[in-house]
Structure 1
Amino acid sequence: MDLYLLTITFLAILIVILGVSWWKWHAFISLLVASLFLAIMSGMSLDKIVTAYETGVGGVLGHLVGILALGIILGQMMSESGAGMQVANFFVRLFGVKKLPWAMLLSGFIIGIPVFFEVGILIVLPLVISIHKTTKQNILLIALPVIAGLSIVHGLVPPHPGAIAAIQIYNANLGKVLLYSLIIALPAAIIAGPLFAKWVHKRVIPESEPELIRVNMTAKTLPSTGLSFFIILLPVLLMILSAVAPYLPLPKGFMKFFEFIGSPIIALLIACFAAFYFLGIRQGMSKKDIKKLTDQCLLPVGSIILIIGAGGGFKQILIDSGVGTTIGHMSQHLSLSPLVLAFMISGLIRIATGSATVALTTAAGIVSPIIEHMSGVNLELLVIATGAGSLMFSHVNDAGFWMVKEYLGLSMKETFKTWTVLETILSFTAFAGALLLNMFV
């Protein structure tokens, strides 16, 4: 039964890849057909298939749909007003073209700490595209370091949900996990970011340009560099404020207010209104121009929302059909060190379900009873090893795969060669870092 489940999972993933690249189906159709194939072949009852699929779609889009729309609007305002160009020119002047990948890594790493991976991508992407247009560099050289910084922080560093859940399950010390994860995350991001980008950008030259956010500057006067930075960092600052509010001596009402304005959708909405005024009206745009711009930039979002939603549906079918549990139990019988076991189970569940958070929490739930009677297990490094596994080999069942593909204008083949490899480098480098640190702490 276990082998049968793994075989049909492999075939379902093959349907997605062949559907998009060979049969030229839209990714939404490919993911939907693969979900139905897996659900039926795994023996899920027909009345549960549609419910599971809808739950998966709703689970992803419930959190993402507003963020995607507002992120695109903010990005378009940044590009149309010239604010993106101002920030791009500042980075080019400060670091020079040769050191840009390092500047981008730092941006992604810092922005990634308070925000979700998906939100971080939407904040930094207009900047990436502006720098790409300004410097005429291969977009991968600029985009991959940012993505590496955002992704490693999302997988390993608290307060991201997967890491927090694993800390609670293993009963680990949050402060130590934070310290160790930062020590391990930075070298991993350097290897998978600037170093990998410098190697791969000579070997993969994207065939098409990014289309979702077009950098066509229409403003006659440019906003100041300071104002441009303020608008792009405003949602990040609001999210940081929300994260630190519980630790400040504030009345309960104020604390709830800061937590509210720091939630991603409200922070991005506030940033959009700030952009409408400071980058639009103050720069000479009429209300009619701003409405037209908003309408235009929201049209292409429909496709990516469908794809990400279908990816969420596929992921839920994978979970409900029992594939994740099967892999976990198969790995449980191997006599390995807890760090290796946690990394392996988490990695296999990530490959099967496409969700880093699901992989982290499921693997922690499986490994936790195994280590209960063991002594000398470093619980903090166990959290990090589980987190490292949860980043492994992102492919067609992961929303992040489709976001990177669509936003950077890459083909399926190019996305596998860049994003999938980058995630796997992050995963194994972070795991090696955990093993190394385990020798000394």
Structure 2
Amino acid sequence: MLKLITGLVVPLLFIKKLWEHWNIVGAILFSLMLQTFLTLVAPFRRSTRDRCLLVIIWCAYLIADATASFAIGLISNNVRSPCDSSGKEEDDLLAFWAPFLLLHLGCPDPITAFSLEDNELWQRHMLSLILQAVASLYVFFQSLSHNKLELPTFLMFIAGIIKYSERIWALYRASTDSFSKYLLQDKDPGPDYALLMDKFACMRDGHLPTKTITVEQPEKEDKDVKLGKLSDLEVLHYAYHFFETFKGLVVDLVFSRHARKESRDFFKVREPEDALRVIEVELNFMCGVFYTKMMIMRSSVGYVFRIIACGSILAALALFHFHTNQSKYEPFNVKITYSLILGALALEFVSFLMLVFSDWTFSSPVHSALNPLALIYRCFLALTKSSWHSIPGNEVQVLGTPLFRRWSGSVSGHNFVRYCRKSSPTTMLKFTSWWDLIVVRKRVKE
């Protein structure tokens, strides 16, 4: 028994020393790895039916916040007091690393929420922002008396606050109450409404004859519905138009009779392929609103925030590379610092590419024809186009999208009879490949 205990002590001591030496670096690098994984893999969440991949993305989404918060706690616990003169140079790097974790807490642009309920937790994230910002400032002020990296640290702190604020703003805008208020704009009664109501009140109080006339709103002229095949850009424009019309249904708002008639007239003359493509892009727009930062990134304030954040990171990189005596620090810690800065810039660049080649960029038909990227985007849209192909041994054809799918291609349903009988659910059609959609048609026999 004594030998067994002695044999366990040595590995435990080794693990303890390993943890004491690598805890901060390991947590920071693991946080950066999670951010990279979510940036690259999270967009596939909307286009896959693989539960294993969804569980992995969900776990990474939850662990990312915990890892960044844990790393900030480790840094604040290991930073030395201003009275301690030993290891001050390394404390400068610790203070410089803390804002990067605020940047990570801002989460990647492709995923701000995993479910609609996550959007309702924006107040919790606001409290977390305050606490983590206070912890980062504590680390910064602890090293302020001897810190040679105060300006790069301050710039990264600005970038981290902006990124985390973007996440909170995106969650708030996608929450049920905020989304309803955003759609229900204040009515504009016109400039003469107050004067007319004052006159009406005076005449009514003076017992003068008054009469209220109700004028029905004139019917809007029906737009000409395009017949025939839709081009890729036309699919995008119609999908955005109907998305703006019916997005209020998510928060139980009622749409007008004219909107219902317009939608019915449009889809009545569409081929099945075009109808599905329009609905597919609509779902993609809906996903961008409720689960990503797309609404914030496309706003004027979002553009300003993104320019300031990217500029702060670039300025911090320039100051650290050209105006810092890196020989004072351990070479390994310097490499970690470069990894954090370059990793942040790389993630921002990837997010920029995702924004440029997203459906939102060319959703408006006004400027898309004049955009110099329109030709490139038409080629990109060709990769997202669906096509029919046959299934061996079956008399149906499946509509599939091999590349850059916008949705999972399946819709969940609940069979009450099967639920009562406690039988396992079945599928309408067994998919032969991951890109097949649920829309089928009879194979035409020659």
Q: Normalization by structure 1: what TM-score?
A: 0.28
- Identify, as 1 or 2, the structure richer in helix: 1
Higher RCO by CA contacts (8 Å cutoff, separation 6 or greater): 1
